[in-house]
A and B are shown apart, each in its own frame.
Chain A
Amino acid sequence: MRPVPKPGWTASKPSSNDTLGEAIVKSNRLAATLMLALACGATGAPAAPPAAAAAVAPLPVSLALQAAKAALAACVAQGLTVTVTVTDREGVARVVLLGDGTGALSIITSRRKAYTAAALGMTTEQLVKNLSGSNFDLAMIDPELVALAGGIPIMRHNVVIAALGVGGADRGDADVVCAQAGVDAIKNQLD
């Protein structure tokens, strides 16, 4: 469920006239940013013992489906055609729903938003904010990562157990609103 992303789709490629030094500086800064992203993602979470993640149950497909349906319904109610993807904690798609009339790009963006949120443990909206003003190349770390709002991690006991991504709404913050509606639909069932 993780096709090879089309090259050059999102983040800028390293410029060919970068010196090696610049490239190293960039990669160091990127590493720092990603560490920051991870730190920010965990802000407010009480320090959990390392073994906790393994002990927290994964998201059952029934709840993943419920969240995906709610996100799709929220967008359809606004006349928006989107794809909704719910991944597990490894970023593998477990539920995919293509709204009627969705385009091919929404399939890719919804998956990558969910993957990114699962991988970093933070919303892709937050990632966009963290990266704003910088020219970090996310693709250098992992071409599947994407800095587009609309991906939200799903947490249980402060551990990432899944993520939901919405792509294709392309109207203001509609992707984010629909994704949040999906996550909200199951939040009372995650404790």
Chain B
Amino acid sequence: MNSKRLAATLSIALACATTQVQSAAPATAPTLPVLVALKAAEAALAACVAQGLTPTVTISDREGVARVVLVADGAGPVSISTSRRKAYSAASLGISTAQLAKNAAEMHIVPQSVDPELLPLPGGFPIMSHNIVVGGIGVGGADRGTSSSDEACAQAGLDSIKAQLE
């Protein structure tokens, strides 16, 4: 039962991701150049470092493969895996990981049971170009308790490349 509901949820997530996509041919679909990815990663890292936070920032491609990884001075090993998993989750589902957490809670499902790499914790956003997912950004390790620094830093990274994605 649970797995059926989870499959349905993931289908919904995927459907949302592809909403408005007019069957773009993969060969002509926009991609995320490494220099744009790098810019976003540097901006996200800078936003966190400016607050004295030490996260890891990962930018993945649309397949969820890490293309840029920046580990802040003093960042711990868990931040490396959480940032990667947040980027992966956002890129593969096309929704923010905060939204994924909300969806999962509402439907009483555990995304990790479908794919252990999925991580429903805030701090991951899909990177969109022309309504197509071209990658994901994930920030991990900045949160202290109940703050939402991971998400704020990831958003700063996303904002820094907004103009280049149009």
Contact = CB atoms under 8 A, between A and B. Distances in A.
A100 B134 CA distance: 13
Contact of A60 (B38, B69, B73, B77): B73
SS of B interface (majority): mixed
Contact of A95 (B65, B69, B77): B69
Contacts of A156: none
A60 B66 CA distance: 21
Interface of B: 31, 33-34, 38, 42, 45, 65-73, 77, 80
Interface in A1-43: 1
B66 A96 contact: yes
Given A1-B80, A65-B42, A98 B34 contact: yes
Nearest to B34: A100
Most buried by B among A92, A96, A107: A96
11 contacts: A61-B45, A61-B72, A69-B38, A95-B69, A95-B71, A96-B66, A97-B67, A98-B34, A98-B66, A98-B67, A99-B34
A94 B77 CA distance: 10
Given A94-B70, A107-B65, 18 more contacts: A1-B69, A1-B77, A60-B73, A61-B45, A61-B71, A65-B42, A65-B70, A92-B71, A93-B69, A93-B71, A95-B69, A96-B68, A98-B65, A98-B66, A98-B68, A99-B34, A100-B31, A100-B34
A93 B80 CA distance: 9
Contacts, number: 44
Contacts of B65: 98, 104, 107
Contact of B77 (A58, A92, A96): A92
Interface of A: 1, 58, 60-61, 65, 69, 72, 92-100, 104, 107
Contacts of B66: 96, 98
- Per CB-CB distance, the 9 closest pairs between chain A and chain B, nearest first, are A96-B69, A94-B71, A98-B67, A1-B80, A100-B34, A61-B73, A60-B73, A100-B33, A97-B68
Nearest to B69: A96
Contact of A72 (B34, B69, B70, B73): B34
Contact of A61 (B31, B38, B70, B77): B70
Contacts of A95: 69-71
Contacts of B68: 96-98
Most buried by B among A65, A72, A93, A98: A98
A102 to B, nearest CB: 9
A58 B42 CA distance: 20
A107 B70 CA distance: 15
Contacts of B42: 65
B25 to A, nearest CB: 18
Contacts of B31: 100
B72 A97 contact: no
Contacts of A72: 34
B135 to A, nearest CB: 11
B122 to A, nearest CB: 22
Contacts of B71: 1, 61, 92-95
Nearest to A60: B73
Nearest to A96: B69
Contacts of A61: 45, 70-73
A75 to B, nearest CB: 11
